[in-house]
Amino acid sequence: MDLTAYAELAVRLANATAEGEQETARGNHEDSISGLDGLRTLLIDQQFPDTRATRSDLDAMQALRIEFRRIFTACAEGNDTEAVDRLNTLLIRHPVHPQITGHDEQPWHLHLTQGGSVADRYAAASSMGLATALTQLGAGRLKLCATPGCPGVFIDASPNRSRRYCPERCSSQGNVTAFRASRKARQRDVAPTAAV
């Protein structure tokens, strides 16, 4: 069972703008859960069929967003135990059950079934996906974007664990900045010699 898509639910929610935050301050991350319309859009974009989200769901999703950000921060700081404890708490609070299903002319495959509200179902799937990513890739692969001022989080699935930036604009921005700094350093090393 590939739970990568479920882990991306956690990333996308963690990167969403929440109530009280300025959307421009979040840089490249376009999702907003500052209101019910934004939450419903996020749910539809993530192909959650039930978009009858309530104010209670919005509050729960905003709290879940904070918890995911804390998990990524703990991993980035090397505090694997805290990240695992937080994820285990979410997994207990939002249990999932595997179910074999076939749809859209696909072969039989597993889905995670969850109960409860819209927020409960999102929490169950995203927590399970994030837990799978952490256990399969390692806690060091849950990272914070290295671009100053960008609060983005991501899962580093690169073969050599070298990714430093969230996949949006920051990735290319970071590469350009590194290239310019490298070029400037080379120019300083090759200082012109004085004519004799």
- Predicted confidence (pLDDT) per residue in 129-153, tens digit: 999 999 999 999 999 999 888 889 9
195 domain-assigned: no
CATH code of residue 115: 1.10.3300.10
Residues 93-115: tens digit of each pLDDT: 998 877 888 878 888 987 777 67
The reported pLDDT for the residue numbered 22 is 56
28 domain-assigned: yes
The reported pLDDT for the residue numbered 193 is 56
Contacts of 28 (CB under 8 A, 6+ apart): 150, 152, 166, 168, 169, 170
3 state SS of 153: strand
Rounded Cα–Cα distance for residues 73 and 93 (Å): 21
33 domain-assigned: yes
Asked whether the predicted pLDDT for residue 162 surpasses 80, the reply is yes
pTM tops 0.85, yes or no: no
Dihedral pair phi/psi, residue 61, rounded to 5°:
-70, -35
| Ramachandran quadrant class, 123 (left: phi over 0; alpha: psi -120 to 50; beta: rest) | alpha
57 domain-assigned: yes
β-sheet bridge partners, residue 30: none
Quote the domain boundaries for residue 173: 4-189
178 domain-assigned: yes
196 domain-assigned: no
138 domain-assigned: yes
User: Tokens for 175?
Assistant: 């590469």
Residues 5-28: tens digit of each pLDDT: 889 999 999 999 886 665 444 444
DSSP 48-105: -S-----HHHHHHHHHHHHHHHHHHHHHHTT-HHHHHHHHHHHHHHS--EEEEE--TT
Residues 171-180: tens digit of each pLDDT: 655 555 555 5
Measured CA distances, 104 to 50, 65, 99, 100 (Å): 18, 31, 16, 14
